Amino acid sequence: MFTSLSTVGFGDFRPYSSLERIVCAIVLLLGVAIMSYIMGKLIEILDVFKSLNDSLDDGDNLGKFMGILKKYNNNKPIDPEFKLKLEVYFDYRWNND
């Protein structure tokens, strides 16, 4: 693991004294901490991206639902006031469910 995190190679350079071993151990721990931080941020970015896509999918489904309502309403436009109430209702449900 030390070879990978500190990029010292395959034994070309290695610690000889106790002080060098301590420094290498610190480098190893810092390498693990930095990689953990980077991976945590990457996972956080992916979660935000996924949540944005989920909300877009909900909106697409609501648009399809409105189209079906229009179809069953003999292709007459849906009352804008009723449509707004439905959108507010589904927004509330998606945000609080």
pLDDT tens digits for 26-78?
A: 887 888 888 889 989 999 988 887 777 666 667 777 788 888 888 888 888 88
- Cα distance between the two ends of the chain: 44
CA distance 90 to 75: 23
Q: What is the pLDDT of residue 6?
A: 56
Q: Kindly state the tokens that stand for 64.
A: 């399809």
Contact 5, 28 (CB under 8 A): yes
CA distance 10 to 83: 67
Prediction pTM value: 0.46
Q: What is the pLDDT of residue 91?
A: 82
Query: Cα-Cα-Cα-Cα dihedral of 76, 79, 80, 84, to 10°?
Result: -120
Q: Kindly state the tokens that stand for 63.
A: 């648009």
CA distance 97 to 92: 8
Q: Kindly state the tokens that stand for 70.
A: 């229009």
